[in-house]
Amino acid sequence: MKTIKVKTPAKINLTLEVLNKRPDGFHNIQSIMQAISLYDYLTFELNEADKLKIELNGNTDEIPYNQSNLVYKAAKKFFEKIKKENAHLKIYIEKNIPVSGGLAGGSTNAAGTFYALNKLYNNILSDFELEELCASIGSDLNFCLYGGCRLCTSRGEILEKLPVYKQEVSLIKPKNLGISAKEAYTKFSLLKDKSNPNNTQKLKELLLNRKFDKSLIYNSLENALFPDYDELKKIKDGVKNSLMSGSGSTFFVLDSKIQTILNKNDYEIFENLETITSGAEEVNE
């Protein structure tokens, strides 16, 4: 039996500018993603077996533990890639990242699965092969594999490493509200004004010079979702300097605590987080 435990960080989008729709149905984007110190933990137990079997379990009923889970899909793709059919894999998922919150919780778990299995099989796949597997499952996985701060283009899978600007991060999310990326991008397609301020490139240049300007954080998808979700507009109006991450429903604030007149009983709040340089990594206990 072999075991490994990994921690997989959440991400925020310092910028997210949605560009044109692609022939494959996705949108081209330019986004600066940043990993933060909010983690899920995945424990893997690998045994030899007569045939391939993948079992998932975890600490929450908010996610499925079947073939629809991105962790399951990642494990299956990994075994197919290395042509391994006689393995029994058990995975326990400890969720701390809000589900469907725009923080890449599912993507970071799937990327962590590729990372962990490659470790268990003595780095049988190259970085390039891992990147190919990540891109085959979702747009955020390549970023989640490496973490840190990166410019993400195309549908999000093409990365350019940027310096991490160290700062504190606080999160606020409406309880019991999750939004899928598909819904957010579909609603964006219906907007009449799809223009962007090109803040991504402006912030990129600052980061390359080890500088930062909070006035440049920006998310194209906010205005697409506000008309249908009063809860999101209330956060934007009630929490100073807040920005929605990804497709929502989580907002973040930089270098500040969550100051709000909203009823805090209606929200999940995370404080004392920070920007980090890593992605999925092994936990030594």
C-alpha–C-alpha distance, residues 234 and 220, integer Å:
18
By the 8 A CB rule, do 30 and 153 touch?
yes
| 17 touches 31 (CB < 8 A) | yes
Decide if pLDDT at 285 tops 80.
no
Helix axes 70-82, 127-137, angle to 10 degrees: 140
What is the reported pLDDT for 63? 97
Q: Is 11 a catalytic residue?
A: yes
Q: What is the pLDDT of residues 87-111, one digit of tens each?
A: 999 999 999 999 999 999 999 999 9
Q: What average pLDDT does range 19-31 have in this prediction? A: 91
Considering 7, 11, 77, 234, which one is annotated as catalytic?
11
**pLDDT tens readout for residues 185-199:** 999 999 999 999 999
- Whether the pLDDT of residue 256 is over 90: the answer is no
Contact 242, 215 (CB under 8 A): no
Q: List pLDDT tens digits, range 209-222.
A: 999 999 999 999 99
Q: What is the pLDDT confidence band of residue 154, given thresholds at 50, 70 and 90?
A: very high
How far is Cα 110 from Cα 140, in angstroms, rounded to an integer?
A: 10
Q: Which residues contact 32 (CB under 8 A, 6 or more apart)?
A: 13, 14, 15, 149, 150, 151, 152, 162, 200, 203, 204, 207
Question: Which residues have C-beta within 8 Å of that of residue 190, sequence separation ≥ 6?
Answer: 224
Looking at 7, 40, 77, 140, which residue is catalytic?
140
Domain boundaries along the sequence of the chain: 1-285
Q: What is the pLDDT of residue 262?
A: 82
> Which ranges of the chain does DSSP label H, i.e. alpha helix?
70-82, 105-120, 127-137, 141-146, 181-189, 199-208, 222-225, 230-238
Flag whether pLDDT at 261 surpasses 80: no
pTM for the predicted model, two decimal places: 0.96
Q: Peptide bond preceding 249: is omega within 30 degrees of 0, i.e. cis?
A: yes
**Cβ–Cβ under 8 Å, residues 70 and 106:** yes
Query: Whole-angstrom Cα distance, residue 99 to residue 174?
Result: 11
CA angle 39/28/69 to nearest 5° reads 40
Q: What is the largest CA-CA distance in the chain?
A: 59
Distance of alpha carbon 186 from alpha carbon 278, whole angstroms: 32
Res. 32 pLDDT band, cuts 50 70 90: very high
Structure tokens at 151: 């410019």
pLDDT confidence tier of residue 21, bands split at 50, 70 and 90: confident
Confidence category of residue 179, pLDDT binned at 50, 70, 90: very high
Q: How large a percentage of the chain has pLDDT more than 70?
A: 100
Averaged pLDDT of the chain: 96
Nearest alpha carbon to residue 167 among 92, 280, 55, 256: 256
Which CATH number applies to 1-285: 1.10.357.10, 3.30.230.10, 3.30.450.40, 3.40.50.300?
Answer: 3.30.230.10
What type of residue is 63?
I
> pLDDT class for 48, splitting at 50, 70, 90?
very high
Spatial contact of 113 and 125, defined as CB atoms under 8 Å apart: no
